[in-house]
Amino acid sequence: MAQPLQKGTMALVTWNNNSPTTWIATMDGQEICTIKRKDIGGWTAGWMGERLWPAPSHLPKAMPQPTRFFGALDDAKLAVEQALMA
C-alpha cells in the first residue's frame, strides 16, 4: 500500500512484504530500504545505496551506519518514512 511521506508532497513509499520476515520500501519504483526480522527479536532497517542512519544521540562518537535496529516493525517503518522526509 502506498503511503504519503508528508502532506503536500508527491513522493510515496510503498511497502512490499517479500516474505514473512522481510519488508521492502520502494519509492518511485526503486527499492530504497529493506527491513528484516531478527532471530533474536526486533527488526533491522538497512538502506540500499549510499544512505546511512545517523549515529544515535546517546553515542555521539559513533559513526553513521547503513543499518539500524528497531524493537517493532511499525517503529522501523515509521523511521524509514521520516528519514525519507528529511
Which pLDDT value is given to residue 18?
79
Which pLDDT value is given to residue 11?
59
Contact call for residues 2 and 13 (beta carbons, < 8 A)? yes
CB-side neighbour CA atoms (13 Å) of 3? 14
pTM (predicted TM-score): 0.80
Which pLDDT value is given to residue 12?
82
Domain boundaries, the chain: 2-85
Read off the pLDDT of residues 18-66 as tens digits, 9 standing for 90 and up. Answer: 788 999 999 988 999 999 999 999 999 999 989 999 988 888 899 999 9
Which pLDDT value is given to residue 1?
39
Neighbours of 68 (CB within 10 A): 20
Phi, psi of 62 (to 5 degrees): -70, 150
Neighbours of 64 (CB within 10 A): 10
Give the mean pLDDT of 69-76: 96
